[in-house]
């Protein structure tokens, strides 16, 4: 399952989406996520999915690669569907022990699952087409006004950049530890879900030790290169808007308005 997680991995391509300014992609992703959580009709999620798939096509990212990233959220989606189906009052479909599945609950569960999937796909597209350095610069530029109220935006953007950079590193570290355990006879794929979770627990301690070691090495490397919180950092590639970004902003705003109108009209 850990090998299927692709979030945080930059997919190197020379596409139109990759060439956009990070601030444009951040704003477009934020507007889309806000819109899908305001939509109240499940049928509207179909054109939303088509919109995301078109963006993946323009970004030259295989759809199979995006669907592979959703596998890491399969357990969350299943839990969301079951939990939402049994806590919503309405017309009864099925009763198992003390739990009752309702028709209204199933509809709301499908709607919530669709929102989560669209949110993951849009956030993944942002990560696939934006390097951690660009992400940090985009956040810093977009939220610069918060520095007037003494919010440490530069430090926060650096933390986000490091977090995104280390997601694939830690996933690979987990895979290495799992392979080492498997070579010693541990089977992570047999038994009930609770037994498999119990087998995963021994991975936590070596992963925690590895995380501390990597963070200490990173801190020493940053200090050796003269990094300081108070210093003003320069950019090797400063962010600049182009005509492509203006067109992308228009498209993002139009999609946002259309989705809001569906909530009003339908």
**Half-sphere exposure at residue 263, Cβ-oriented, CA atoms within 13 angstroms:** 12
Q: What is the pLDDT of residue 189?
A: 67
d(CA 218, CA 92): 56
Sorting pLDDT into bands at 50, 70 and 90, what band is 244? very high
Please count the structural domains in the chain.
1
Short-list 51, 30, 25, 61, CA closest to 244: 25
Residue spans of alpha helices (H) in the chain: 16-19, 22-38, 45-58, 63-70, 74-87, 103-129, 132-142, 153-183, 193-200, 204-224, 243-265
**How does pLDDT run across 192-230, given as a tens digit for each residue?**
666 766 767 777 788 888 888 888 888 888 888 777 765
108-112, 149-153, 176-180, 194-198: the lowest-pLDDT one: 194-198
Helix spans in 184-226 (H): 193-200, 204-224
Round to whole Å and give the CA distance between 1 and 188: 10
| 24-52 per-position pLDDT tens digit | 999 999 999 999 988 878 888 999 999 99
CB atoms within 10 A of CB 22: 23
Q: Pick left, alpha or beta for residue 175 (phi over 0 → left; psi -120 to 50 → alpha; otherwise beta).
A: alpha
d(CA 136, CA 156): 8
**Whether pLDDT at 259 is above 70:** yes
Contact partners, residue 185, CB within 8 Å, separation at least 6:
none
- Two structure tokens written together for 215: 């963070």
Average pLDDT score over residue span 147-164: 77
Rounded to the nearest 5°, which phi and psi values hold at 131? -75, 155
Judged by DSSP in three states, 9 sits in coil
Domain hosting 190: range is 2-265
To the question of pTM greater than 0.85 for the whole model, the response is no
């Amino acid at each position: 399952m850990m090998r299927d997680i692709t979030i945080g991995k930059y997919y190197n391509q020379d596409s139109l989406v990759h060439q956009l300014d990070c601030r444009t992609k951040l704003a477009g992703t934020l507007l889309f996520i806000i819109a899908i959580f305001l939509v109240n009709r499940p049928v509207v999620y179909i054109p939303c999915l088509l919109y995301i798939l078109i963006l993946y096509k323009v970004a030259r990212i295989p759809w199979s690669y995006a669907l592979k990233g959703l596998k890491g959220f399969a357990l969350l989606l299943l839990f969301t569907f079951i939990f939402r189906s049994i806590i919503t009052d309405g017309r009864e479909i099925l009763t198992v022990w003390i739990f009752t599945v309702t028709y209204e609950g199933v509809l709301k569960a499908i709607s919530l699952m669709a929102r989560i999937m669209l949110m993951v796909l849009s956030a993944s597209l942002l990560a696939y087409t934006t390097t951690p350095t660009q992400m940090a610069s985009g956040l810093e530029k977009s939220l610069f006004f918060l520095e007037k109220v003494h919010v440490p935006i530069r430090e926060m953007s650096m933390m986000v950049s490091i977090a995104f950079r280390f997601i694939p590193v830690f996933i690979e570290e987990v895979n290495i530890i799992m392979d080492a355990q498997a070579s010693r006879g541990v089977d992570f794929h047999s038994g009930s879900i609770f037994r498999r979770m119990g087998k995963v627990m021994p991975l936590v301690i070596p992963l925690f030790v590895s995380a501390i070691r990597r963070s200490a090495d990173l801190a020493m490397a940053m200090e050796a290169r003269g990094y300081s919180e108070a210093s003003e950092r320069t950019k090797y590639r400063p962010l600049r808007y182009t005509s492509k970004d203006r067109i992308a902003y228009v498209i993002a705003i139009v999609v946002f308005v259309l989705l809001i109108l569906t909530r009003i009209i339908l």
